[in-house]
Chains A and B, each alone.
Chain A
Amino acid sequence: MSIEVRNLVKTFDNKTILDNISFKVDDGKILSIVGFSGSGKSTVLKLISGLIEKDSGDIITTGGDVAMVFQYSALFDSLNVFDNISFALQERKDLRGKYTRKELEKIVAEKLELVGLSGIENKYPSELSGGMQKRVSFARAIVTEPKIILYDEPTAGLDPISSTLIEDYIVRLKNETHAASIVVTHQMSTIRRTADSVLMLYNGHAVFEGSPDELCREETPYTKQFVEAALDGPMKMN
């Protein structure tokens, strides 16, 4: 077990966003969290990464770093690719000064090779396409060898081919790092190609937990509505 979430509760302005959510993700596995916009998917990631505080419940990890890939990459636009990827190694209190410039260059080159973008160290984020920015943010996320990787809608805003490429890299990073991964997504293709298990959220509740195959079998009204992208069903859009 690499990460376990038990009875997680989070409210904003008296509105319950997450209500008793529980799940587990093992090392080297990918959990996909799906659901409508506003169902609390990204909140789960922000709670696990420590960006916001939980109201109650437990988030238990087996140690190591938690990395996060943001929806729109969140690369530092004033820094080039090299400085973006090596940011944590250069600026983190416990890592600052630990690596020489040559070692940093080697690490960055390795990570860029892993995401198929060798030789772009001196480029700035504005010079890269959306897909390339996303892959650079993958490289930045894995630079500290994290045990948990969180992806917030990694294929949002990308064309289908770039999405497929990103999905392949998610699986590749899982295999390379053996990290427990959580992918928040809306897209069935991402679920099919990457996920080992799926958790569906609606109005802060978990309404389905199972494998991608079980989701696609549409055995419950929730999964049926989600897979068919139907307006009619138990889940109502606000």
Chain B
Amino acid sequence: MRIYYKATYTYKIFRAFCKSLNNLITTLGTIVMFGIEFFKGLRYKPTTFPELMSQCYRFGVTSLPITLSIVGMTSVIVAMQVAGEMVKQGAGNYVGMLVAILMVREEAVIMAGFAIISMIGSSLASEIATMKVTEQIDAIRVLKVNPIHYLFTPRVLAGTLMMPIVVIVSSLVGIVGGAIAANLVSGLTFKAYFDSVWFGINMHDLQVCISKSFAFGFVISLICCSCGMEARDGAKGVGLATTKAVVWSFVAIVIVDLIFAAACFY
């Protein structure tokens, strides 16, 4: 009886693992297929300017307050924690450089990514998932319009184009926030801080930051649209699709970040 129980338990774990692996491969495959279809859509379905602008506004403007708050506060926290200590150790001239490198290389882009996923990605996924479960996507198909071209093209394009702008603005706010915090905490002058910033940042950092932002914007919007498109079974399905979109996007941008870090800095 005991042996039987153990075998059943092992089998259950194995079955759950296989199911998860199957889901993972299926979702990855679906996202890749939708990605290919998106690129086809760029060719076949010219996105109208107002439609693109509306999605750009959604990505770039509506997300900005929360993104700036998160990135700004993160840089203030970093500056508060390191500025006092570094000034004491005689390394005050490196505070600006440290905050700037942290912002441009990592913090601004990853924090903006998290903010965009939480605010815009989740709304994209739930919007498309609701359309799916209320048969609006079926209606688009019956009317012989490709729903991937119609829905994905403006959203993914807007996500890809707006993410670098959000990240650049966030980085600037983060650097300025760090300057204010460093000045208040340790009395470091703005001149010393910004001299250190210019010394620390180089063109390579900016290029990587912008490239990574494009990649993040593309990955987030594609994953969120794809998860929404795969929704089924009513309100519960919308919730599951939104959760899946958020989780997958978080994981995906960390993986993309890792790839960029490995490729560009090592």
Residues of A in contact with B (beta carbons under 8 Å apart)? 46, 49-51, 65-68, 70-72, 74-77, 87-88, 91-94, 140, 144
* Known interface pairs A50-B141, A72-B135, A91-B145; 7 further A-B residue pairs with C-beta atoms within 8 A, sorted by A's residue number: A50-B142, A67-B142, A71-B135, A72-B134, A87-B140, A87-B143, A88-B144
Interchain CB contact (< 8 A) of A76 among B44, B139, B144, B146: B139
B138, A70: Cβ atoms closer than 8 Å: yes
Across-interface contacts of B145 in A (CB, < 8 A): 87-88, 91-93
B136 contacts chain A at the CB level, 8 A cutoff: yes
A74, B144: Cβ atoms closer than 8 Å: no
Looking across the interface, which residue of chain A has its beta carbon closest to that of B139? A74
Whether A76 touches B135, Cβ cut-off 8 Å, given contacts A67-B142, A88-B143, A91-B145, is no
Listed from nearest, the 9 A-B pairs whose CB atoms lie closest are A74-B135, A74-B139, A88-B143, A91-B145, A68-B142, A70-B135, A49-B142, A74-B136, A92-B144
Chain A proximity of B22: nearest CB distance (Å): 15
A91, B150: Cβ atoms closer than 8 Å: yes
B135, B139, B141, B142 pick with most chain A CB within 10 angstroms: B142
Across-interface contacts of B135 in A (CB, < 8 A): 70-72, 74
Looking across the interface, which residue of chain B has its beta carbon closest to that of A88? B143
Across-interface contacts of B146 in A (CB, < 8 A): 93
Across-interface contacts of A87 in B (CB, < 8 A): 140, 143, 145
Chain B proximity of A165: nearest CB distance (Å): 22
Looking across the interface, which residue of chain B has its beta carbon closest to that of A68? B142
Give the CA-CA distance A51 to B136 in the complex, in Å: 12
| 27 pairs from A and B in contact (CB 8 Å cutoff) | A46-B138, A49-B142, A50-B141, A50-B142, A66-B142, A68-B138, A70-B135, A70-B138, A72-B134, A72-B135, A74-B134, A74-B135, A74-B138, A76-B139, A76-B140, A87-B140, A87-B143, A91-B150, A92-B144, A92-B145, A93-B44, A93-B45, A93-B144, A93-B145, A93-B146, A94-B144, A144-B143
Across-interface contacts of B45 in A (CB, < 8 A): 93
Looking across the interface, which residue of chain B has its beta carbon closest to that of A152? B135
- The secondary-structure label for the interface of chain B is helix
Give the CA-CA distance A76 to B139 in the complex, in Å: 9
Across-interface contacts of A92 in B (CB, < 8 A): 143-145
Looking across the interface, which residue of chain B has its beta carbon closest to that of A137? B139
Give the CA-CA distance A77 to B135 in the complex, in Å: 12
Give the CA-CA distance A93 to B138 in the complex, in Å: 17
- Interface 0/1 of B17-51, CB less than 8 Å to A: 00000000000000000000000000011000000
Whether A70 touches B139, Cβ cut-off 8 Å, given contacts A91-B150, A93-B44, is yes
B142, A76: Cβ atoms closer than 8 Å: no
Across-interface contacts of B134 in A (CB, < 8 A): 72, 74
Across-interface contacts of A94 in B (CB, < 8 A): 144
Across-interface contacts of A67 in B (CB, < 8 A): 142
* CB neighbors of A among B109-156 (8 A): 131, 134-136, 138-146, 150
Across-interface contacts of A72 in B (CB, < 8 A): 134-135
A77, B136: Cβ atoms closer than 8 Å: yes
Whether A51 touches B144, Cβ cut-off 8 Å, given contacts A74-B135, A91-B150, is no
